[in-house]
Amino acid sequence: MTGKLPKDRILILDFGSQYTQLVARRIRELGVYCELWRWDVIETHILKFNPSGIILSGGPESTTRKDSPRAPDCVFQAGVPVLGICYGMQTMAIQLGGEVQVSTKREFGYAKVEVLQNSSLLLHDIQDEYSSDGMPVLDVWMSHGDNITSIPLGFINIAKTESCPFTVIENEEKRFYGVQFHPEVTHTRQGQRILERFVFHICECVSIWTPTNIIKNAMDSIQETIKNDHVILGLSGGVDSLVSAVLLQRAIGSRLICVFVDNGLLRLNEGRQIMDMFKSFFKLNIVYVLAEDQFLSALSGIKDPEKKRKTIGRVFVDVFNKQVLKFSNVKWLAQGTIYTDIIESAKTGIGASHVIKSYHNVGGLPKKMKLGLVEPLKSLFKDEVYKIGLALGLPYEILNRHPFPGSGLGVRILGEVKKEYCELLRYADAIFIEELHKANLYNKLSQAFAVFLPVRTVGIMGDTRKYEWVISLRAIQTIDFMTAHWACLPDKFLRQVSTRIINEINGVSRVVYDISNKPPATIEWE
Ligand code: XMP
């Protein structure tokens, strides 16, 4: 999947647990490269990947079902350490001759694990507290309905809980380990230390997956692939495309051509900021295309949110394609696809490397252009993209900007998009964001923005009656953007923002604050 892989690497076989991605992120946090593949990947791929260790993830199925997933046999014959987590531990037990039965009691949430064998390499000197008889005790997170009832030959039992007799098992000679709990979730307080023990002490990996090495690895791989060709990249202003651009430029210099399409739906001064930063600071070969009129006239009269999104996407493809056609020497199209996109869009393990992000809007490139796809971030998680962005010299403020939808203000102006509304909203949004920075609140929020409501309400300013538009403020906190809480911003702060918006923006007579969680409300209003 990647150019040159580090020698030390872990393979994670995914049995479908909601936490599998977390396992991968934890291993990467340790500075060790890992990849996540579906459990049924063919054996030759595993052998070719040549992992230093294999982790079998948890999964939603019951191993007691006859047709439930099993790890490929080569996992246990490759001569490398194996760590089975939850379902992964149970399938390992069954495949090696043990037994699993449906338990009468489902164990979900916190559990206390009593360690029975102090000598286990996996758990040695790792504990939260000690029991009255001096044995280590761990606070862990469990989620299982089945239990191992008999362990395979060669294994010993290392730990138990009240309702789970075999909570940690090991075969020291073969370096096979199983844990019924989830070490990858932070509720398991010593979880990261346990993973660290497995990766460093048992698999003997070295921590070399660092930003400097990641950058070097990516640059080598880009140079090897691109050779002397030219590459084109649609710069959206989002972190992934910005980091891809800087990385590619480091690797191939001015043979990277960036196209920045200003659709008129950007935040205040955003186009200028991006051009300044990339042209002057990073010396990028960048083409600025002002296409505001084209986007706004295509959006004229359209009220439906999905139609607006599609129109914005279509116009982007038209504008971008015209630019591509101008460069006859371009052989490659660069995209800021990241590892999460690949895992989530495909869930097909290896071979799933050609995923086009829908909001990149480049899916409509004419086939006759025959461009190859280059995705320099495709093996990186979002936090790794941030880290290498910083290492490449991208300013902290740019990297830590809240996400902004590809469809921009187009989905923050309810109903029809008009230039006049864009102007009002841009100013209101800029005031809100400026005040958040001043009050030191911006970095405490996951996303904050203003929304334009095309309804007129009455207000009085001095002796004059106003009958003008409404601005809603939205500020949320979230970990994954799948669910979100509205942020409880201080009264004084909200008063200041509202006063500034109404006083400074001609055309707004009322400001409201959105107090809806996701679900049921989405983060964007459209
Ligand atoms: P929702 O509104 O679905 O948003 O709760 C979740 C996250 O996705 C962003 N978002 C978009 N990003 N194009 C994008 O690139 C879009 O059309 C789009 N719609 C929503 C949203 O800003 C939030 O971070």
CATH of the domain at 450: 3.30.300.10
Q: How far apart are CA 518 and CA 478, in angstroms?
A: 9
**Angle, to 10 degrees, between the axis of helix 305-326 and the axis of helix 292-299?**
150
Q: Give a yes or no: residue 523 inside a domain.
A: no
pLDDT tens digits, 375-389: 999 999 989 999 999
Per the CB < 8 A criterion, the answer to whether 365 and 324 are in contact is yes
Do 331 and 443 lie in one domain? The reply is: no
Mean pLDDT of 19-27: 94
Mean pLDDT of 262-279: 92
| Active-site residue, selected from the candidate residues 35, 107, 170, 184 | 184
In this predicted structure, the answer to whether residue 359 has a pLDDT above a threshold of 80 is no
Instruction: Specify the residue for token string 């995209």.
Output: 335
Total domains, the chain: 3
Give the DSSP letter of residue 368.
G
Which among 202, 226, 259 is the end of a domain?
Answer: 202
Q: Is 437 a catalytic residue?
A: no
Residue 176 β-bridge partners: 82, 171
* pLDDT at residue 358, rounded to an integer: 37
Is the C-alpha dihedral spanning 458, 462, 464, 470 positive or negative? negative
CATH number, residue 355: 3.40.50.620
Q: How far apart are CA 115 and CA 159, in angstroms?
A: 4
* pLDDT at residue 481, rounded to an integer: 86
Q: Give a yes or no: residue 447 inside a domain.
A: yes
Do 63 and 147 lie in one domain? The reply is: yes
Cβ atoms < 10 Å from Cβ of 348? 15
Which among 202, 232, 263 is the end of a domain?
Answer: 202
**364 is known to lie in a ligand binding site:** no
Tokens, residue 447 = 């996303």
Q: What is the pTM for the complete model shown?
A: 0.83
In this predicted structure, the answer to whether residue 500 has a pLDDT above a threshold of 60 is yes
Per the CB < 8 A criterion, the answer to whether 389 and 399 are in contact is yes
Q: Give a yes or no: residue 161 inside a domain.
A: yes
* pLDDT at residue 20, rounded to an integer: 92
* pLDDT at residue 354, rounded to an integer: 31
Give the DSSP letter of residue 360.
G
Q: Grade residue 160 by pLDDT with cuts at 50, 70 and 90.
A: very high
Do 154 and 301 lie in one domain? The reply is: no
* pLDDT at residue 326, rounded to an integer: 93
Mean pLDDT of 127-139: 95
Q: Give a yes or no: residue 406 inside a domain.
A: no
* pLDDT at residue 362, rounded to an integer: 44
Residue 485 β-bridge partners: 477
Do 163 and 36 lie in one domain? The reply is: yes
* pLDDT at residue 236, rounded to an integer: 85
Residue 72 phi, psi dihedral angles, 5° rounding: -60, 145
**Span from the CA of 411 to the centroid of ligand 1 (angstroms):** 9
Per the CB < 8 A criterion, the answer to whether 523 and 487 are in contact is no
Q: What is the secondary structure of 185-213 as a DSSP string?
A: STTSTTHHHHHHIIIIIIS-------HHH
Q: Give a yes or no: residue 405 inside a domain.
A: no
In this predicted structure, the answer to whether residue 482 has a pLDDT above a threshold of 90 is no
**Span from the CA of 526 to the centroid of ligand 1 (angstroms):** 9
Q: Give a yes or no: residue 521 inside a domain.
A: no
Tokens, residue 419 = 């230039």
Do 115 and 230 lie in one domain? The reply is: no
Q: Grade residue 462 by pLDDT with cuts at 50, 70 and 90.
A: confident
With H, G, I as helix, E, B as strand and everything else as coil, classify residue 497: helix
pLDDT > 90: what percent of the chain?
A: 82
Q: Give a yes or no: residue 127 inside a domain.
A: yes
**Span from the CA of 405 to the centroid of ligand 1 (angstroms):** 5
Q: Grade residue 351 by pLDDT with cuts at 50, 70 and 90.
A: very low
In this predicted structure, the answer to whether residue 23 has a pLDDT above a threshold of 70 is yes
Range with lowest mean pLDDT among 111-115, 222-226, 404-408, 457-461: 457-461
pLDDT tens digits, 299-324: 999 999 999 999 999 999 999 999 99
Per the CB < 8 A criterion, the answer to whether 135 and 116 are in contact is yes
Do 508 and 479 lie in one domain? The reply is: yes
* pLDDT at residue 345, rounded to an integer: 67
Amino acid at 363: G
Do 222 and 270 lie in one domain? The reply is: yes
Q: Give a yes or no: residue 1 inside a domain.
A: no
Which among 202, 231, 264 is the end of a domain?
Answer: 202
Q: Grade residue 356 by pLDDT with cuts at 50, 70 and 90.
A: very low
* pLDDT at residue 479, rounded to an integer: 82
Do 218 and 193 lie in one domain? The reply is: no
Domain of residue 374: give its range.
Answer: 211-399
* pLDDT at residue 352, rounded to an integer: 31
Do 307 and 423 lie in one domain? The reply is: no
Q: Grade residue 346 by pLDDT with cuts at 50, 70 and 90.
A: low
**234 is known to lie in a ligand binding site:** no
pLDDT tens digits, 95-105: 999 999 998 77
Do 263 and 302 lie in one domain? The reply is: yes
Do 119 and 174 lie in one domain? The reply is: yes
Per the CB < 8 A criterion, the answer to whether 122 and 113 are in contact is no
pLDDT tens digits, 282-292: 889 999 999 99
Do 36 and 105 lie in one domain? The reply is: yes
Q: Is 201 a catalytic residue?
A: no
Out of 310, 523, 525, 526, give the residue to mutate to test ligand 1, the one with the largest number of ligand atoms within 8 Å of its CB: 523
Average pLDDT in the chain: 92
Q: Is 182 a catalytic residue?
A: yes
Q: How far apart are CA 413 and CA 305, in angstroms?
A: 10
| Active-site residue, selected from the candidate residues 34, 86, 203, 205 | 86
